[in-house]
């Protein structure tokens, strides 16, 4: 086959004149940091997720940091999470002095195996952090039932899950908190950014304090006409507030979410069709329970050759790729500091060196997908 001349990236955000106009409007408005746009973004996120509170932040990592902190997780505590996740979660657990306890995944879906959670619980366990992996929901009914029985909080890592539905409902309302990411490769982007949703009023209050220096009131209210610029600090906090510039971009993207995710699922269907008869590769499985997949990533497992060689061949064909993820328990400092035994994570280990994320983004064309499928067929022949 003929090699394409232009590089097909693994991901590219879809930015139209609408997003540019929304950002320009904020830039010209005279107020560019946290303000009315962040509030609107938060309100629309509450509607999407059917939750009472949404707190916008500079990243999902920031959201994870202050959610763990607000729930009092620290020295001596244990937090259960899959090893097949982004290291940011584990970094936050470790930085607070707690210990990550890794649970295995289901090989087919790469989602945390809810049936293995209970065995990982000890008297020190304070939270369970399932990941809605690649846009498919974790088995929340099982996870929340275990957590409720044991009096443990569930924090959903929803970084991949804007537009993920589980048993007919958008994920996020079934736990203590759910944390979304708007990093540029995510289903919607605000440049960088994140959102924590919760139904817990006390948690919301703490998160708002921790997000902005521990100051009780929002700056934009303090600096408005007739506002009182005095402030008090209730607890020491961080500087994790999103700006209205980012929120305007995020809002414009959120209003295109249905289009984005429909398009993503069409592209995934094309991939599945195009790769169905290619041997030497395994396609991702879908969870057996009712759900709508946000199709954040399309991750295949390469069986017929080493992943490194496969990636090099994709590069020859001018095709980009991603890796989600190098298992957290295998990363240097995590291994040295927490040293979880590989034998407890057999499916994670089995999948780890085979997984590769293929290009997937709404502005990809049908021809792009067909090209990737043909290239893979040729590479593996
Ligand atoms: C599973 C998962 N959790 C958390 C994050 C962190 O998101 P952010 O980059 O917004 O901090 C990511 C981002 O890649 C992720 O993939």
224: CA distance to ligand 1 center in Å? 34
- Concerning whether 176 is annotated as a catalytic residue, the answer is no
Which residues make beta-bridge pairs with 128?
80, 154
φ/ψ of 349, rounded to 5, equals -65, -40
Q: Kindly provide the b/e burial profile for residues 123-158, where b requires at least 16 CB atoms within 10 angstroms of the residue's own CB.
A: eebbbbbbbbbbbbbbbbebbbebbeeeebbbbbbb
The pLDDT mean for the chain works out to: 96
List all residues 6 or more positions away from 102 whose beta carbon is below 8 Å from its beta carbon.
80, 81, 82, 83, 120, 327, 328, 329, 340, 344, 345, 348
317 C-beta closer than 6 A to ligand 1: no
186 C-beta closer than 6 A to ligand 1: no
Please give the pLDDT value at position 59: 99
| Cα–Cα distance for residue pair 62/212, rounded to 1 Å | 11
Average pLDDT over residues 44-72: 98
Here the tokens at position 250 are 């995020």
135 C-beta closer than 6 A to ligand 1: no
Here the tokens at position 134 are 């690649």
Query: Helix and strand tally (H, E) in the chain?
Result: 13, 13
Q: Which of 55, 67, 135, 159 to mutate to test the pocket of ligand 1 (most atoms within 8 A of CB)?
A: 159
Q: Which of 13, 183, 184, 193 to mutate to test the pocket of ligand 1 (most atoms within 8 A of CB)?
A: 183
Higher pLDDT, 313 or 216: 313
| Cα–Cα distance for residue pair 310/304, rounded to 1 Å | 9
DSSP E strands: which ranges in the chain?
A: 53-57, 78-82, 99-103, 125-128, 153-157, 165-166, 169-170, 177-181, 194-198, 281-282, 291-292, 298-302, 355-358
> What would the pLDDT profile of 215-270 be if each residue is shown by its tens digit?
976 666 667 777 788 888 989 999 999 999 999 999 999 999 999 999 999 999 99
Here the tokens at position 56 are 């916008």
Which residues make beta-bridge pairs with 94?
none
Which residues make beta-bridge pairs with 112?
105
Average pLDDT over residues 350-356: 98
List all residues 6 or more positions away from 333 whose beta carbon is below 8 Å from its beta carbon.
94
Here the tokens at position 239 are 């500087």
> What would the pLDDT profile of 172-228 be if each residue is shown by its tens digit?
999 999 999 999 999 999 999 999 999 999 999 999 999 999 997 666 666 777 778
Average pLDDT over residues 80-102: 98
Q: What is the pTM of this model?
A: 0.97
Please give the pLDDT value at position 15: 98
Please give the pLDDT value at position 219: 60
| Cα–Cα distance for residue pair 311/5, rounded to 1 Å | 18
Please give the pLDDT value at position 337: 95
Average pLDDT over residues 349-367: 98
Please give the pLDDT value at position 228: 80
> What would the pLDDT profile of 279-307 be if each residue is shown by its tens digit?
999 999 999 999 999 999 999 999 999 99
What domains can you pick out in the chain, each with its CATH number?
17-254 (3.40.640.10), 258-380 (3.90.1150.10)
Is 195 within 8 Å of 180 (Cβ atoms)? yes
Here the tokens at position 348 are 């994670």
189 C-beta closer than 6 A to ligand 1: no
DSSP states of 256-268: THHHHHHHHHHHH
* Sheet of 291-292, strand order: 169-170, 165-166, 291-292
List all residues 6 or more positions away from 21 whose beta carbon is below 8 Å from its beta carbon.
none
Q: Which atom of ligand 1 is nearest to the CA of 157?
A: 3
> What would the pLDDT profile of 12-43 be if each residue is shown by its tens digit?
999 999 999 999 999 999 999 999 999 999 99
């Amino acid at each position: 086959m003929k090699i394409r001349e232009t590089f097909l990236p693994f991901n590219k955000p879809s930015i139209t004149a609408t997003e540019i106009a929304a950002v320009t409007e904020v830039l010209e408005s005279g107020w560019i940091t946290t303000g009315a746009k962040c509030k609107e973004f938060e309100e629309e996120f509450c509607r999407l997720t059917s939750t009472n509170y949404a707190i916008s932040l500079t990243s999902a990592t920031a959201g994870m940091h202050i959610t763990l902190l607000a729930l009092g997780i620290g020295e001596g505590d244990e937090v259960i999470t899959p090893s097949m996740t982004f290291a940011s979660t584990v970094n936050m657990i470790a930085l607070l002095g707690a210990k990550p306890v890794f649970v295995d995944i289901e090989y087919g879906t790469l989602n945390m195996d809810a049936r293995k959670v209970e065995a990982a619980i000890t008297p020190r366990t304070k939270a369970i952090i399932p990941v809605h992996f690649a846009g498919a929901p974790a088995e929340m009914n099982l996870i929340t039932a275990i957590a409720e029985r044991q009096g443990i909080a569930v924090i959903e890592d929803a970084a991949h899950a804007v537009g993920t539905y589980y048993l007919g409902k958008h994920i996020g309302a079934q736990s203590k908190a759910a944390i979304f990411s708007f990093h540029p490769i995510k289903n919607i982007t605000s440049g960088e950014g994140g959102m924590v949703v919760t139904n817990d009023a006390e948690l919301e209050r703490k998160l708002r304090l921790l997000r902005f220096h521990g100051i009780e009131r929002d700056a934009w209210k303090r600096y408005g006409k007739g506002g009182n610029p005095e402030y008090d600090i209730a607890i020491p906090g961080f500087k994790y507030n999103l700006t209205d510039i980012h929120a305007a971009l995020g809002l414009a993207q959120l209003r295109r979410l249905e289009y984005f995710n429909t398009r993503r699922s069409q592209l995934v269907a094309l991939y599945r069709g195009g790769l169905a008869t290619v041997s030497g590769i395994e396609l991702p499985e879908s969870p057996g329970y009712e759900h709508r997949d946000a199709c954040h990533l399309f991750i295949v497992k390469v069986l017929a050759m080493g992943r490194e060689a496969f990636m090099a061949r994709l590069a020859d064909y001018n095709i980009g790729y991603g890796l989600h993820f190098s298992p957290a328990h295998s990363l240097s400092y995590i291994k040295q500091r927490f040293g979880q035994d590989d034998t407890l994570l057999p499916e994670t280990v089995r999948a780890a060196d085979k997984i590769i994320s293929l290009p997937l983004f709404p502005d990809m064309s049908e021809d792009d997908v067909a090209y990737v499928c043909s290239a893979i067929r040729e590479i593996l022949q």
